[in-house]
Amino acid sequence: MPLTSSRVSGRDSLVNIESLAIDSHLPTNDVSHERTALKTKIRKHHSINMSEPAANAPPPPSEPPVEAGEDGASTSKKAAKKAEAKAKKEAEKARRAAERAATTGASSSAAATEDLATDNYGNETAETKFSADAVDIHLKTLGEEHVGKLVQLRGWIQNSRMQGAKMVFVEIREEGNWAIQGIAAANPEGTPVSRQMAKWIGAVNLESFVIVEGTIQKPLEDVKSCRVSKYELHILKFFIHAAAPAALGLTLAAANRPIANFSDEEVPVEEGVEKLSLAPGAEPAGIPAATMLTHLDNISMYFYPLGLYPTVANAARSKA
C-alpha cells in the first residue's frame, strides 16, 4: 500500500499511516518517520497551490502601455501629451521674449549711438521750430486748465540737477521769483528726449535765458523749491535764447542780500571769507553778502526782481 498521495488531505494521510502501522505491525519509529515525511510533502503541495493562479480565474485587467519620459520616469500617454504641449508653449514664449529683447536692444543701441532728438534742443536759430499748437503761458496765471496741455515758457534757469544719465531737473524762473520745476527724461526710443539732450540741458549755464516747450502735469508731491508748487513742466523742447557766462560775478540770491560794504575799494579775500556766516540768524544761512562794487559790476541782476529784462531777453519778449 502506497504511503503518500498528491490528492489526499493531511488529516486522512495521517490516519492511513497510523492504521497501516497497526495492521502491518510496523515499529513506532518508522511510523513517525513516514509521518514527518508526509507532513513535509503536504506543506510543499499547499505552498505550490497557493502560488499558482487558479485555472478558471479571470485574467487581470490590462494596463495601458507606458513609455519613458525625458527624465527616464514612466508617464502615461496623457501626461506625455501635456508635457509636450507645455514644452511647445514655453518654447514659443521664449522665442517671443527673444524677439522683443532683440528689438528693444536694437532701438536702445541706436538711441545710444545716434541722437534722434537733435531738432528739439540747442541754441535758438532762425531754423528753430516750435509746435504751432503750443500755448504761451505765464506762471502767474498757471492753473488747472493748463494740465495736460502743450505750453511754451520763457525764463531763466535758476537751478539744475542731473538724476542719473537719463533725467535732469531744472528750475525755470520767470518774472520776479515765479519759478516752476521742469523735468526732461530720456525715452528708450531716443525721441522726443534723448540721453544726449538730457545731459546737454543739465550742463546749460545758470541764469541763461531759455525757451522751453512741454506739457503741464501735476507732481506726486508739492515742489517745495519753487513758488509754483502744484504743477511741473515735462520738457519736450529746450532752446537757449541768451546764454549766461560760465561763472557769474553775482547770483540772484546774493543780489537779494543787503550790501555788506559800501566802500569803493575791493575787499580782501580773507575779509570776504570771514563774512560768510552759518549762524542761525543769517538769512539765508551760508549765502555771502556782496559789496557795493560787486553789485555795480553786475547791475543786470537788478532787472530780474523788478520784472525788467536785459536787451537780448527783452527782444525775445517783444516777439511773443
pLDDT tens track for 20-44: 444 445 555 555 666 777 767 777 6
Residue 124 has pLDDT above 70, yes or no: yes
Contact indicator for 226, 178 with CB cutoff of 8 Å: no
Question: Per-residue pLDDT averaged across 88-113, rounded?
Answer: 77
How would residue 300 be classed by pLDDT, with cut points 50, 70 and 90?
low
Fold of domain 120-242: OB fold (Dihydrolipoamide Acetyltransferase, E2P) (2.40.50)
Lowest mean pLDDT among 192-196, 216-220, 310-314: 310-314
What percent of the chain has pLDDT above 90? 34
Quick one: which of 288, 301, 298, 302 has its CA closest to 260?
288
Residue 102: predicted pLDDT: 79
Lowest mean pLDDT among 81-85, 171-175, 252-256, 265-269: 265-269
How would residue 196 be classed by pLDDT, with cut points 50, 70 and 90?
very high
Residue 209 has pLDDT above 50, yes or no: yes
CA distance 76 to 84: 12
Contact indicator for 209, 240 with CB cutoff of 8 Å: yes
Query: Is 0.75 topped by the overall pTM?
Result: no
Contact indicator for 191, 117 with CB cutoff of 8 Å: yes
Residue 273 has pLDDT above 50, yes or no: no
How would residue 110 be classed by pLDDT, with cut points 50, 70 and 90?
low
Residue 2: predicted pLDDT: 47
Residue 314 has pLDDT above 60, yes or no: no
- Helices 28-51 and 10-24, packing angle to 10 deg: 160
